[in-house]
Chain A
Amino acid sequence: MKFSLGPSLFFWPKQEVHDYYQRASDSSADIIYLGETVCSKRRELRAKDWLELARQLSSNTDKQIVVSTMTLLESPAEIQVMRRLCDNGDLLVEANDLSAVQMMHELKLPFVLGPAINCYNLATLKVFLKQGLVRWVMPVELSGDWLRQLLQEAEQENIRHQFECEVFSWGYLPLAYSARCFTARSEDRPKDDCQYCCINYPQGRKMNSREGERVFVLNGIQTMSGYQYNLVNEVPQMKAMGVDIARISADSDAAFMQLNNFKAQLQTPQHKALVSTTECNGYWHQIPGMSIA
């Protein structure tokens, strides 16, 4: 089983992005995803900068480097930028919208299907296999049982070997996408004059209930889970059911430590108690996502 570092979902200054990926290249991750997936107005790094960084990492490490694309695309300009990323010549691409799937298929190139594309069953997965899917990242709201059934069906149809399966396993869960920017709204700014304010919140903005319960995290047009998802105790189970890759979402503080925690579970599984005010694992156990099983 391998471990990946997901794309950063947050907006960080250019130098911090470079420093972060320097650390990533020295980390225990087997696969590194990078690229802007949330908002096209975030231009500390432009498409060519992301590709440059990706190539640099690719030549300096033996890790697999994957370029992640945007999730919610609404304008031809955004599509143009994505085309540059998709048609990059050598690096594998993670498609986070059907538009990217369409492009990769036209280019006759393989792709990773990201977690924001609604692939909930084998019939859908088979359509994507025909388009060029080589790796499927399960939608975050699905459970271990759901996955087990789907992978068993794939075995029965003798197509399980045609794709890798990846599970979002640690970090704030990307839960929703909107036309509206909630970070700008939290600063009482219109989206058209957002002043790129999410750069001031390197881990998003906390949104609590009026009783102080951490409900969600605001990250521009994206709404994330208030708690950090943590499947560290499920690593042996994932491995047993044939999950190929566990994804640790990029995080300015803890991702590298979590990578090591997760990897250690393969050697000597050890139950780790989750903290109910900051962590959750509900989705995997088919209970409310914010709960702990």
Chain B
Amino acid sequence: MELLCPAGNLPALKTAINNGADAVYIGLKDDTNARHFAGLNFNETKLDKAADYVHQHGKKLHVAINTFAHPDGEQRWRKAVDKAVAMGTDALIIADIGVMAYAAEKYPDVERHVSVQASTTNLEAIKFYHNNFGVSRVVLPRVLSVQQVRQLAKSSPVALEVFAFGSLCIMAEGRCYLSSYMTGESPNTVGACSPAKYVRWQETEEGLESRLNNVLIDRYKRDEHAGYPTLCKGRFEVEDNVYHALEEPTSLNTLELIPELAAMGIVSVKIEGRQRSPAYVEQVAKTWRAALDRYQQTPQDFTLEQSWMQTLANLSEGAQTTLGAYHRKWQ
């Protein structure tokens, strides 16, 4: 199984490669990718350097072009594909069907991966991409249970990649407009969820409040850990009950599923977090490399190190991790 790590800048990319990533995925410095944050991502010069570094080390580079093209800007998405191909990307990660059609027609020999943002959750949807665009990989959304992933892996004509670690999207990716409902900007249209420019923190008599475009997302008591106000992870009221109505601040961690994922033939495990620091990437890459290597050496007798789980928990939202939808109980 390939270890696929995120990089939001060149230092993170080098860190990922130096710490055991088999492949790294990045985005361009514009709204063609779903981590369109200030100070993040790669311009053309950096793109070249990224490709050189990755290829010198015998690893692979994937470029995410995974937002949806605007009617007046389809050229921007096509140019993103052109640039990524020109600097020698090993794979394009694409969400928009129009962009996918362009890439398949113009660059039939460059690998196309169906982005998680395309929300491909079943065999017939995979066939759609297989038949029309000859894709070589589908990234599965984080809505399937392990049993469902296994069923799909048995019958899929295309290799499958799954999310292994990082911030947990609880909605089918690419099918969540909660952020634009509250702020006008969504992952699909602008490449960001709960964008930072709408976040406001305020100390009040009732506690520290976090707001997104003025909507109260959460209010923390003095001893509580306050997290980034991603709108689906706040505390809300349903009748008289105040709780995390959608999800708690938590991260996905599937380290313990390595043997199952490998046995069902998953080709790649993806680490979320292009917005994260090189230090974060280093620790996650190192831990996952160690775990994957351990599995490789003793597949029959794979055991988790407590220290791995501790490291990953410390890096997680709310310092807690979950198996998410992979485990039926979470659903």
A127 to B247, CA, bound (A): 36
Query: Quick one: which of A120, A181, A216 has the most chain B CB within 10 A?
Result: A120
The prevalent SS among residues of A at the interface is: mixed
Q: Which of A73, A120, A121 contacts B122, CB < 8 Å?
A: A73
Q: Which of B118, B125, B184, B235 contacts A287, CB < 8 Å?
A: B184
The prevalent SS among residues of B at the interface is: mixed
Contact B236 A209 (CB under 8 A): yes
A77 to B151, CA, bound (A): 11
Contacts of A79 in B (CB 8 A): 122-124
Q: A127-B101, A213-B216 are in contact. Are A286 and B124 (CB under 8 A)?
A: no
Contacts of B71 in A (CB 8 A): 120-122, 146, 149-150, 153
Query: Quick one: which of A153, A179, A223, A225 has the most chain B CB within 10 A?
Result: A179
Contact B175 A177 (CB under 8 A): yes
Q: How large is the interface on B (under 10, 10 to 19, 20 to 34, 35 or more residues)?
A: 35 or more
Contact A146 B145 (CB under 8 A): no
A74 near B: Cβ within 8 Å?
yes
Contact A76 B177 (CB under 8 A): no
How far, in Å, is B304 (CB) from chain A's closest CB?
A: 24
Contact A213 B215 (CB under 8 A): yes
A205 near B: Cβ within 8 Å?
yes
A278 near B: Cβ within 8 Å?
no
How far, in Å, is B142 (CB) from chain A's closest CB?
A: 8
A206 to B92, CA, bound (A): 41
A99 to B120, CA, bound (A): 9
A181 to B247, CA, bound (A): 11
Contacts of A87 in B (CB 8 A): none
A179 to B184, CA, bound (A): 25
B302 near A: Cβ within 8 Å?
no
Q: Which of A98, A121, A223 contacts B70, CB < 8 Å?
A: A121
B156 near A: Cβ within 8 Å?
no
Count of A-B residue pairs with CB < 8 Å: 221
How far, in Å, is A87 (CB) from chain B's closest CB?
A: 13
Contact A123 B188 (CB under 8 A): no
Which residues of B96-126 have CB atoms within 8 Å of chain A's CB atoms? 96-99, 101-102, 118-125
B246 near A: Cβ within 8 Å?
yes
Contact A99 B68 (CB under 8 A): no
Contact B128 A99 (CB under 8 A): yes
B241 near A: Cβ within 8 Å?
yes
Which residues of A128-149 have CB atoms within 8 Å of chain B's CB atoms? 128, 139-142, 146, 149
Contacts of A153 in B (CB 8 A): 71
Contact A177 B236 (CB under 8 A): no
Q: Mark B308-331, 1 if CB is under 8 A from A, else 0.
A: 000000000000000011001111
A183 to B115, CA, bound (A): 29
B182 near A: Cβ within 8 Å?
yes
Contact B97 A118 (CB under 8 A): yes
Contact A179 B69 (CB under 8 A): no
A290 near B: Cβ within 8 Å?
yes
Q: Which of A72, A119, A173 contacts B143, CB < 8 Å?
A: A72
Interface 9-residue window, one of A59-67, A185-193, A251-259: A185-193
A210 near B: Cβ within 8 Å?
yes
Contact B172 A124 (CB under 8 A): no
Contact A289 B184 (CB under 8 A): yes
Contacts of A102 in B (CB 8 A): 124-125, 127-128, 131
B260 near A: Cβ within 8 Å?
no
Contact B182 A178 (CB under 8 A): no
A82 to B175, CA, bound (A): 20
How far, in Å, is A49 (CB) from chain B's closest CB?
A: 23
A13 near B: Cβ within 8 Å?
no
Contacts of B102 in A (CB 8 A): 123
Contacts of B236 in A (CB 8 A): 207-210, 215-216
* Identity of the chain A residue whose Cβ is nearest the Cβ of B244 in the assembled complex: A185
Q: Which of B68, B128, B242 contacts A210, CB < 8 Å?
A: B242
A155 near B: Cβ within 8 Å?
no
A180 near B: Cβ within 8 Å?
yes
Chosen A-B contacts, 10 in total, with CB atoms closer than 8 Å, are A72-B121, A121-B71, A176-B171, A176-B178, A190-B331, A191-B328, A208-B237, A212-B237, A288-B213, A289-B181
Q: Give the A-binding residues of B (Cβ under 8 A).
A: 68-72, 74, 95-99, 101-102, 118-125, 127-129, 131-132, 142-145, 148, 151, 170-172, 174-178, 180-184, 186, 188-189, 213, 215-217, 219, 235-239, 241-242, 245-247, 324-325, 328-331
Q: Give the B-binding residues of A (Cβ under 8 A).
A: 71-76, 78-79, 97-103, 116, 118-128, 139-142, 146, 149-150, 153, 173, 175-182, 185-186, 190-192, 205-213, 215-216, 218, 223, 225, 282-283, 286-290
